[in-house]
Structure 1
Amino acid sequence: MSHSVFEKLTVLVVDDSAYMRHLLMTLLQALGVTRVYLAIDGEEAWELLNTCQPDIVLTDAAMVPGDGFMFAKRLRSLRGHALGFVPIIMVSGHTDLASVERARDIGVTEFLSKPISARSLYERLIQVLDRPRQFVETPTYRGPDRRRRNTPFAGEDRRGGVALI
């Protein structure tokens, strides 16, 4: 019997749309994820965090009252707790450059645009699990290293000391 690489994962899905919650849960289960927790907004997700201890968070961007941006920022602000490092995949129909940059700048690990497919979800999960990026902490940013290529920088280092966690 073959086992899924995802079977030991715990995933928290945060979306105000019942249809999207069900779709994401069904896709995750088809990929072999056995523990999926559902929340309708950032506030409910915040309440579930300590209960479910997710390995990955999938969150919608636009929700009311607590949207995915606020939730991700709040999660990244956790210091001294493993949950502050949990990979966050933002799922959104708002794929304009400003939204993607906003997600990146608050520490979202990956961005998945709607409509989603099983393949696109699988690829993001593999990206997060198989090729994790180093975590960076500066006075203005806390999250995964935004650089995707491992190319040396030849210019002047204007940032000074940056803590790589």
Structure 2
Amino acid sequence: MPDYDFSQVDAAIIDPQMNTARVFRDVLARMSFRRIELFDSVKAAIGLMSAGTPDLILVDADGEGDEAFRFIRALRNEPGVPNPFTGLIVTTWAPTPALLGRVANVGADDLLLKPVSPKQVKERVVALIEARKGFVITADYTGPDRRKAPREGAQVPVLDAPNTLRMKATGQWSHAAVRPLMAEAIAFVVEQKRIRASIQVAFLAEFAKPGLLRPVAERSALDHIGRIGGFIDDLLRRLPEDGSLAHVETVAKSVKRLADKLRAHAEQGAIDSDDVEQLQTLSRALMQGVDPDRSLGDMTREVTTAVTGYRNRLEQMAQAKAAALAVQAAPPPAEDGAAAPPTAGAGAAQPQASAP
């Protein structure tokens, strides 16, 4: 391991199995970490989100799976967290495919399988120092960039998030240096959250539009506009308190009211097509208000491209599901030894292929 100095680094370990937590603590102590706090539950560790966020957090995913992932998501996404970019390693005894997906989607940096050796812990800590991924910010995700290929629409910018673990371990730490870096990065996250939330709202409105305009509104369309309120609420709590974006607040609240109205009227079987058109118009106005320096045409094309890609993926999934059901419904192949017609040009009879 390179000659890193961990004497200024703080860590927290959240694990209901205290014997396992002590193993991690002993490894970090031998690496000369300055302070290592142990918590036997997420609830006990909730104070880490309001003051004194450490440079490294190890979180067990087995004992309190749902609570652990809610904690990680909140730490990465909630306004007011002192250091939402802290190193986060999830630990587990059972790395199921479902767990791997949750780790990737919640914003954690890495996954560490138990039982662990001191060497494995050190390697993961060093990886956070030397090879940490840049952060991406979307409407509902903040964390390491997990993308393996470009997505539809405009590319989300990647943030070189402040890494206090690296800064302390390499002797580059000082409060005077970190404060402006952290403030700038958090301001970037807030701005991107507003932008991505407005784009997500426009996406939901455009995707739902055809289904809302049918004689009977499609359940999928209603479900999609039902998600609009959550993104609006998140956008609103990220607006500055000085009133400089009061016009954005006004439009955002109008979008939420109209989405709620459409859902309520759908339950009564009467949706006004003018309201559907107005929802799309207002959602685009919200995008423009949040990001006035960007062309509305460019943003609208980004949304349309994303909607088209999403529809195509849904269609592919439906086709794959139908094909799988067809295979399940097909008659079984002929039993061994059953006669089958010879294949043209073949010297012997071949088994007959079963119908798809």
Q: TM-score range by the shorter chain?
A: 0.7 to 0.9
Q: What per-residue deviation string (whole Å, max 9, x for no partner) do you get for residues 2-60 of structure 1?
A: x7522221001100111011111111101121210111111111124445420011110
Displacement of 1:80 in angstroms is 5.6
Amino acid at match of 1:93: W
Distance in 1 (CA, whole Å) between partners of 2:153 and 2:143 is 16
Alignment of 1:1-165 (within 5 A): 4-64=4-64, 67-79=67-79, 81-147=81-147, 157-165=151-159
Amino acid at match of 2:86: V
Displacement of 1:85 in angstroms is 1.2
Distance in 2 (CA, whole Å) between partners of 1:14 and 1:69 is 12
Q: SS state of the match for residue 44, structure 2?
A: helix
Q: Work out which of the two has the higher radius of gyration on C-alpha atoms and give 1 or 2.
A: 2
Q: SS state of the match for residue 38, structure 1?
A: strand
CA 1:125–1:134 in structure 2 vs 1: closer, same or farther (change >3 Å)?
Answer: same
Give the TM-score, by structure 2 length. Answer: 0.41
In the alignment, is the contact (CA less than 8 A) between 2:59 and 2:90 conserved in 1?
yes
**May I ask how many residue pairs the two structures share in their alignment?**
157
Distance in 2 (CA, whole Å) between partners of 1:91 and 1:51 is 23
In the alignment, is the contact (CA less than 8 A) between 2:77 and 2:141 conserved in 1?
no
RMSD: 2.2
Distance in 1 (CA, whole Å) between partners of 2:22 and 2:136 is 33
Higher strand share: 1
Higher helix share: 2
Distance in 1 (CA, whole Å) between partners of 2:85 and 2:116 is 25
Distance in 1 (CA, whole Å) between partners of 2:74 and 2:123 is 26
Distance in 1 (CA, whole Å) between partners of 2:50 and 2:124 is 24
Q: SS state of the match for residue 69, structure 2?
A: helix
Distance in 2 (CA, whole Å) between partners of 1:79 and 1:49 is 10
Amino acid at match of 1:164: V
Q: SS state of the match for residue 85, structure 1?
A: coil
Q: What per-residue deviation string (whole Å, max 9, x for no partner) do you get for residues 61-102 of structure 1?
A: 023497321211111122364421111000111211210111
Amino acid at match of 2:47: E
CA 1:47–1:80 in structure 2 vs 1: closer, same or farther (change >3 Å)?
Answer: closer
User: Could you tell me the percent identity over the aligned residues?
Assistant: 24
Give the TM-score, by structure 1 length. Answer: 0.84
In the alignment, is the contact (CA less than 8 A) between 1:42 and 1:70 conserved in 2?
no
Amino acid at match of 1:158: E
Distance in 2 (CA, whole Å) between partners of 1:35 and 1:88 is 16
In the alignment, is the contact (CA less than 8 A) between 2:134 and 2:145 conserved in 1?
yes
Q: SS state of the match for residue 115, structure 2?
A: coil
